[in-house]
Amino acid sequence: MYTLGYEGASVVDFIATLKRAGVSLLLDVRQLPQSRRPGFSKRVLSEALKEVGISYRHVRQLGDPKPGRDAARRGDMAEFRLIFNAHLKSDEAQIAIQEAAIVTREETVALMCYERAPKDCHRSIVAERIRDIVSVDIVHLGVHPS
């Protein structure tokens, strides 16, 4: 399973990175799949991915709630982790993790969010939870200009 963030990336380079890795399904784990960065809002991104044969699925239930995002922006990573881990205990998040684990068995999956550094992003926590179920390697991809 792969993870990557689009911070500082162009959509062309982002998609090229997914293609090079052989990703067949992108799971967007942003709570709000919108972006000021061109090409990274849900509809536009899903259409661009479809053109190159990559499926897209938004998984809102695995997004970081606003209080967690606010804590991360303040640099309070302990508070961020506390909030996000509490969120992951919800029934909706538990179901979403199970569903993500199922598709990870069947497809080459990448989890996406904004942050470039995986240590600063909730997608790493989500990936670890999925790995606990399906025992897959987690590879954090960096997006590089093509």
Cα–Cα distance, 27 to 30 (Å, whole number): 9
Residue 145 within a domain: no
Residue 34 within a domain: yes
**Cβ distance 25 to 54 under 8 Å?**
yes
Q: Higher confidence at residue 121 or residue 19?
A: 19
- In this prediction, residue 146 carries a pLDDT of 64
- In this prediction, residue 122 carries a pLDDT of 94
Burial 53-65 (b: 16+ CB within 10 A, else e): ebebebbebbbbe
Residue 120 within a domain: yes
Cα–Cα distance, 28 to 79 (Å, whole number): 23
CATH of the domain at 39: 3.90.190
Confidence of residue 144 (pLDDT cuts 50, 70, 90): confident
Q: What is the pLDDT of residues 26-82, one digit of tens each?
A: 999 999 998 988 899 999 999 999 999 999 999 999 999 999 999 999 999 999 999
Residue 131 within a domain: yes
Chain position carrying tokens 């259409």 = 47
Confidence of residue 123 (pLDDT cuts 50, 70, 90): very high
- In this prediction, residue 90 carries a pLDDT of 97
Q: Can you list the pairs that 139-142 forms with residues at least 24 positions away whose Cβ atoms lie under 8 Å?
A: 139/1, 139/2, 139/3, 139/21, 140/2, 140/3, 140/4, 141/2, 141/3, 141/4, 141/17, 141/18, 141/21, 141/110, 142/4, 142/17, 142/116
Q: What is the pLDDT of residues 132-141, one digit of tens each?
A: 999 999 999 9
**Cβ distance 136 to 104 under 8 Å?**
yes
Q: What is the pLDDT of residues 74-97, one digit of tens each?
A: 999 999 999 999 999 999 999 999
- Give the total number of structural domains in the chain: 1
Residue 51 within a domain: yes
By C-alpha distance, which of 24, 25, 28 is closest to 39? 28
Query: Which residue range is the domain that position 100 belongs to?
Result: 2-140
Residue 146 within a domain: no
